[in-house]
Structure 1
Amino acid sequence: MSGQIELANAPSDAISAVRFAPQSPNRLLVASWDRNVYLYDTKQGENGSLLRKVEHRAPVLDLCFGDDDATAFTAGLDWDVNRINLETGEKTVISSHEAGVKSIVYSAQHHLLVSASWDSTLHVHILNNGNVAHAPATVPLPSKPFSISLTPTKLVVAMASRQIFIYDLASLKMLTSQSAPSQESGNSSILEIQPWQQRESSLKFMTRAVCCMPNDQGYALSSIEGRVGVEWFDPSTESQARKYAFKCHRQADEGVDVVYPVNALAFHPVHQGTFVSGGGDGFVVLWDGVTKRRIRQYQAYPSSVSSVSWSSDGRYLAVGISPGFEDGKEVISEGQVKLYIRELADGEAKGKSAK
């Protein structure tokens, strides 16, 4: 049976990111505009349990886990990239950008931590047993990055002006290790690396989110204008002919199509091709990316869906909701920010084409 709980002790301001731990399907990290990072045990008690809260100097925009469930990395409007020991709550600054840091991802395969800032740069850190081996390399970008995502071999960077850069992680690591100064020097080297591929987004409006397929084949991206595109890395004509885009997260209101931004995307870790989208209309929708069909749409949440995350076993879906200001009101009232954990029934996320 599928079911859903609302987690207790939700943040007091908008949720910017929710992330399940890489090993435990019951550990959830949440970043918020209230300047805190929250760690929950989603199975403890009837409505989960808040295990730890770590305060930052400014709103936290993104976070990720490291090699295990005890290490996290955060980024936000304090311009810093932080490492957090989730056992002790200790927070350490490992690099600083020159503007807010929008996104952060960690590649366990390559031990690379990558942060993307509105200063139009990436910081690439090589980690050794969870520690920073040396000062980060700085990769200049042509535009402001809006979202980044990883596969086992690729890094996808979605930027302003509908630009998409795809980097090869092995090359990125090799060049970073060759160019980076020691951590003690405190200097960051400039890494002029050409992306493996440069593309223009298949969507006509500003990119809101990008999410890579776990099978290393491609990615999905979403826009502020109620559309999702699915693309493949393979540059062959045959493969590129497979890419497509579709309308979603639109609601009819007195005969008028009201369009909402698609804020969040997440591919299922088990069922290849299945992904979930979360929109400003408060809906979470499961899609079969292979057959291009909707699997199911869940009952509307009270406000805009800001972030979604699958547990490592694909059994649980975390949904963070916050007012998206679609109604023009820019004040968040008490109780409007909520966290939900949905437990999926067997086969609920299986695509139409799956055996």
Structure 2
Amino acid sequence: MDSIRNQLVVGTAGRHVLIWDLRQMHAPVEQRESSLRYQTRCIQCFPNGQGYILGSIEGRIAVEMFDPNPEVQKKKYAFKCHRVKDGDKETIYPVIAIAFHQGYNTFATGGCDGIVNIWDGFNRKRLAQLSKYPTSISSLAFSEDGNMLAIASSYMYERGPIENEPEPTIYIRSVAENEVKPKHINSLIILALLLVLGSLSAIKVKN
């Protein structure tokens, strides 16, 4: 469950997404079926209010848009994450935590693999993968200025009771700009420089 501005978004165990207007709470204004095939484990709204992210037990993320306009809905997509390949076998881990960076609208995901990934959702790129933590990532949160990331590592009993269960721990780490800043910003700068260089070359040829 998460909210942004006047919208409240709830993901159910039955793969439904309910959207409420917080000013009219008598009934949901919209009910959708999750685009993911398996149970929702976490949901988080984009800080800019354009949509929300779903994480499932199948190691998938779905990027969804609020606006029902068909052109806007073309922007939604899903992708695999938090999976470990070993030869021809693949172990799939649930996605159980999502947190947005308020400055860039990029987001971090945490899974039962003990890994934190940082993504650029609009450009469909992974920006960073942090070092593996002792056990499942149960919760994530960026500081308001986006310079710090709190990571809760706690066994979520996805494999039932185990011996020597890791101690629940909260880690606070600094965030480097290249871990959260969308790459396309740099690409635009490079493109602008190429256009300038091209113009200068054209001037030299004419002279």
TM-score bucket of the superposed structures, by smaller chain: 0.7 to 0.9
Q: How does 1:2-41 map to 2 (within 5 A)?
A: none
The count of corresponding residues between Structure 1 and Structure 2 is 186
User: Counting helix residues as a fraction of each chain, which structure ranks higher?
Assistant: 2
Task: Please state whether the residue corresponding to 1:353 is helix, strand or coil.
Answer: helix
State whether residues 225 and 259 of structure 1, in contact with CA within 8 Å, keep that contact through their aligned partners in structure 2: yes
Q: Deviations over 1:40-94 (max 9, x none)?
A: xxxxxxxxxxxxxxxxxxxxxxxxxxxxxxxxxxxxxxxxxxxxxxxxxxxxxxx
CA distance in 1, matches of 2:82, 2:178: 24
CA distance in 2, matches of 1:254, 1:326: 23
CA distance in 2, matches of 1:354, 1:341: 27
- Give the aligned partner of residue 156 of structure 2: 324
Q: Which AA in structure 2 matches 1:321?
A: S
- Give the aligned partner of residue 163 of structure 1: 16
CA distance in 2, matches of 1:327, 1:216: 36
Q: Return the match for 1:299 from 125, 131, 137.
A: 131
CA distance in 2, matches of 1:250, 1:326: 15
- Give the aligned partner of residue 103 of structure 2: 270
- Give the aligned partner of residue 308 of structure 1: 140
- Give the aligned partner of residue 49 of structure 2: 216
**With structure 1 as the length reference, what TM-score do the two structures score?**
0.50
CA distance in 2, matches of 1:347, 1:281: 23
- Give the aligned partner of residue 168 of structure 2: 337
CA distance in 1, matches of 2:34, 2:62: 8
Shift of 1:346: 3.2
Shift of 1:211: 0.2
- Give the aligned partner of residue 67 of structure 2: 234
Q: Which runs of 5+ in 2 are unaligned?
A: 187-207
Percent identical among aligned pairs is 45
CA distance in 2, matches of 1:216, 1:171: 18
Q: Which AA in structure 2 matches 1:344?
A: V
Shift of 1:259: 0.2
- Give the aligned partner of residue 250 of structure 1: 83
- Give the aligned partner of residue 181 of structure 2: 350
Q: How does 1:200-211 map to 2 (within 5 A)?
A: 200-211=33-44
Shift of 1:322: 1.2
User: Counting strand residues as a fraction of each chain, which structure ranks higher?
Assistant: 1
Shift of 1:326: 4.0
Q: Which AA in structure 2 matches 1:291?
A: N
Q: Deviations over 1:165-219 (max 9, x none)?
A: 10112223xxxxxxxxxxxxxxxxxxxx221211000100000000001111110
- Give the aligned partner of residue 287 of structure 1: 119
Structure with max Cα Rg: 2
CA distance in 2, matches of 1:326, 1:195: 32
Structure 1 residues 198, 326: closer, same or farther in 2, change over 3 A? closer
Q: Deviations over 1:105-139 (max 9, x none)?
A: xxxxxxxxxxxxxxxxxxxxxxxxxxxxxxxxxxx
**With structure 2 as the length reference, what TM-score do the two structures score?**
0.85
Shift of 1:311: 0.8
Q: Which AA in structure 2 matches 1:295?
A: L
State whether residues 118 and 179 of structure 2, in contact with CA within 8 Å, keep that contact through their aligned partners in structure 1: no
Q: Which runs of 5+ in 1 are unaligned?
A: 1-147, 173-192
What is the RMSD of the two structures over their aligned residues, measured on CA atoms?
A: 1.6
Structure 1 residues 261, 200: closer, same or farther in 2, change over 3 A? same
CA distance in 2, matches of 1:221, 1:166: 13
CA distance in 1, matches of 2:113, 2:74: 31
Task: Please state whether the residue corresponding to 1:348 is helix, strand or coil.
Answer: helix
CA distance in 1, matches of 2:97, 2:179: 20
Shift of 1:343: 0.5
CA distance in 2, matches of 1:217, 1:246: 19
Task: Please state whether the residue corresponding to 2:2 is helix, strand or coil.
Answer: strand
Shift of 1:319: 0.4
